Structure 1
Amino acid sequence: MGQPNQSQTGQSLLFLTDEQLRVGIEAMFFAYRGFTADPDRILAEKGYGRAHHRAIHFIHRSPGTTVNNLLAILGVTKQSLNRVLRTLIEDGLVSNTVGQKDRRERHLHLTEAGETLERTLSDAQRARMRAAFRSAGPEAVAGFRTVLEAMMDEDMRRNYATLKEGTE
């Protein structure tokens, strides 16, 4: 594909104009729409939304997580999360068990049906991300991750680091 021109090099990106930042913001919006499009279709068939997807994703990532931990990760109200969890439990996708040490805690696990749905949702997103990463190349992928982490608030970065540690 030839050598990058000056506007594509890292040096020229250190001092972005408002217009270049606007283009980046818009690219992020459209990329997010693409990233969520496949799961949204799958979820809509079941009457679920993105809040259900996020709960399923993070329960899968941390089996046995507590409701309070999930609240901290998702940054939603207790009322909102309870609505989502109630539906997922009633539909047989999530199980809710009482804590052994602290009986006030509720530990969440995906059921077999929940694992199946999680896999379907994740497979769709992994396929899209894998294709994008292959197209962009390893340096772009590393830069993309650096940008995403730099955009996170400190508490989100801590949650992300904790999850990331579990996979390394």
Structure 2
Amino acid sequence: MAEPERATHQGGESLLFLTDEQLRQGIEAMFFAYRGFTADPDRILEEHDYGRAHHRALHFIHCAPSTTVKNLLAILGVTKQSLNRVLRRLIADGLVESRVGRADKRERHLHLTEAGRALEQQLSDAQRARMRKAYRDAGPEAVAGFRTVLEAMMDSEQRRQYHGMRNGRA
């Protein structure tokens, strides 16, 4: 069995030793939590014949109105071909508008339509309800710790994008 990993808590005041078994349990918990987190939106998406890629696009266009296709590619970490398939469908279905950039005519700025905002709201409401319940059940210290763990799992570029979105610079 591998040697336990050592993680330093903020400020280094305490050390936490994790066995491979504890890490495996954490990984399994993440998989099952993700299934729960996506279950409600998946049912809503299925009614529209959409998938999770459509949900992610709607979510991040909502979070960063007027974002460019290039920026959305960076946030989602998908291929241009994959994103174009998703955007074509969302635009054709009247959920997203693509507008030519004012400063650079080559850029395409993305905006949710009223119908797109309504679907995004429905999807987000389902996830917020689940997260709100989980956060209430876990308590404020657990919530803060959970956020710390999630951020620590991001690589530096993902963390930069995440903090940029939180600061209104998507």
Aligned residue identity for 2:44: I
Q: Aligned with 2:65: secondary structure?
A: coil
Name the structure 2 match of 1:127: 129
Q: Aligned with 1:102: secondary structure?
A: coil
Bigger proportion of residues as strand = 2
Aligned residue identity for 1:133: Y
How many residue pairs end up in the alignment?
158
**TM-superposition CA deviations, 1:94-147 (whole Å, max 9, x none):** 000000110000000000000000000000000000000000000000000000
2:68 pairs with one of 46, 66, 69: 66
Q: Aligned with 1:101: secondary structure?
A: coil
Q: Aligned with 2:134: secondary structure?
A: helix
Name the structure 1 match of 2:50: 48
TM-score with structure 1 length normalisation? 0.91
Aligned mates of 1:153, 1:47 — CA distance in 2:
33
| Structure 1: tracts of 5 or more residues without a match | 1-9
Aligned residue identity for 1:126: R
- Percent sequence identity is 77
Aligned mates of 2:53, 2:16 — CA distance in 1:
35
Name the structure 1 match of 2:116: 114
RMSD: 1.6
Name the structure 1 match of 2:37: 35
Name the structure 1 match of 2:5: none
Q: What stretches of structure 1 move > 3 A for 4+ residues in a row?
A: 10-13
| Structure 2: tracts of 5 or more residues without a match | 1-8
Bigger proportion of residues as helix = 1
Aligned residue identity for 1:139: E
